[in-house]
Amino acid sequence: MAVRHQLIRHAPATVWSVLADPSLYGEWVVGTSRSEPLDGPWPEVGSRLRYTVRLGPSSAEGTTTVRHQELGRELELEAAFGKIGTARIFLQLRPWGEETLVICDEHPLRGPARHLHTALSEAALQLRHRSMLARLAEVVDHRRERERGTAGRA
């Protein structure tokens, strides 16, 4: 299992507001370029997003389904990408003083990828998570800056 954590300089509610915004999924999830709700209000259990992955000139679509959530604390997803299979992605938000410790745990769940889980694929997931959690922190920072700018103009 690839487990990684990131300390984000904002309260859990601010981090959750980014996780709960389906339009931001493509900004913090590595590999996705676009996302849109497919059905159900995100991130309620059972709701789904459709996303696009671009590799050079090629692109393909996948879906992500919410399997579990505890409002403001936990979000467990199943990401499906065609014949490759699915992955379980568990995000946990822990208050850390005035900040948030985000813990990400991901592993292949169904399909061929489940059988190809090796030390090499684990290392690749660690690199992906490092980038993904850093991007999440940036998106949270930008959201907070926009909120402050809007409040300053009011």
Query: Tens of pLDDT along 36-74?
Result: 889 999 999 999 999 887 777 877 888 999 999 999 999
Task: Look at strands 48-55 and 74-80 and give their pairing.
Answer: unpaired
pLDDT digits (tens, 9 = 90+) for 90-108: 999 999 999 999 999 988 8
Output the CA–CA distances (angstroms, integers) from residue 19 to 44, 46, 140, in the order listed: 12, 15, 9
What is the CATH topology of the domain spanning 2-153? Alpha-D-Glucose-1,6-Bisphosphate; Chain A, domain 4 (3.30.530)
- CA trace torsion 138, 9, 93, 97 (10° rounding): 180
- Contact indicator for 117, 123 with CB cutoff of 8 Å: no
